[in-house]
Structure 1
């Protein structure tokens, strides 16, 4: 099966004196259904990797394929469509609209799908239930805890049923208990078949992930896989 992410010899250089080689010949495959952590200190290339995986930036050289699409061959408009339909984003900051209910914060993430408001709200309600917020759909962001707001952000990313969920420092703005709850949620989503890439500098978070890619100076320095405690159940989702 074609991987959901395929990078081959990918480099990204930012101009300057001297130029900054943020990614340096990176090759990587992420299969459907995997949960991967990209781990490294500030300045290691994590953010650039996120931008390349999320098609927010283009590589200077190398091949980038996301969900089977050759990113270099797509126009900016086609890239926007790919992001809206195939990639979900969760950021450290929640980016929820103030004064708007959790239901409509999630439903508004489906504006570009062409679904009617009724269908968008129905899907938003289902997704909020999936992340454990069935009783908070009409609460506004200021009425929710930090952990609950991040769950709304996760629901918004999932509502479009993306092939790939990118989580950028998803626990960075949370206390330890709320952060642990969000990581537990991501593990539950992964167990249900969601492909997840977590970008983090937190080694405690990374250690809980089945696969860890360590990045340093724009290169992958290690690709580690945790030992499986049990065989996966047959017939798992993509």
Structure 2
């Protein structure tokens, strides 16, 4: 995470935000996590995501950083992923060795590694190409914190998790069946999940007042809308593909 720095004299610079190491240390301190607020955020990310990012502005005013200083969201999200993936493994009757491998791969690669890569790309793009020039040499230079970019990924991924891990689990017997209707529903489910991910990604960066041209993060939605009918016409069923990939 990058601390806020000031150009020029910077005599009124505020205190730097807590570092990444402090964030990691709080992971093992469950009693310091705000669990109730985390569940509130998760609920509103699915219903009123703009409200969540309005509270992000309040966090900046009180904590002098855009990123969460509480790792509760990421920790609880990992627990949800473990439970959901374990339910899939139990339902599809794979061995316990295969189950452990699948759970670890989903948490470590799908969420943490992929999230780290996506957050780093967005952090680089926003700081390099989207920051507005400061009008005065004495103005505080603002940058996107890496931890905030990771927060945005977590926020964006959660509704997709609800659609593709939870809802899809209960309707998977229908979605893996042969026929046009299961394929159509499966493609629509993935289209909505991926589009909503990118919409929340846009909201996360659009709330930052020092960024410009954040509509760039909406462009992938257009690509998803174009590709989805092509996938339907080609007979591709993403749910069946994912089930074969993980459970044979």
State if a TM-score over 0.5 links the two structures: no
Taking CA–CA contacts closer than 8 Å with sequence separation of 6 or more, which of the two structures ends up with the larger relative contact order?
1
Structure holding more strand per residue:
1
Structure holding more helix per residue:
2
The normalised TM-score by structure 1 is 0.29
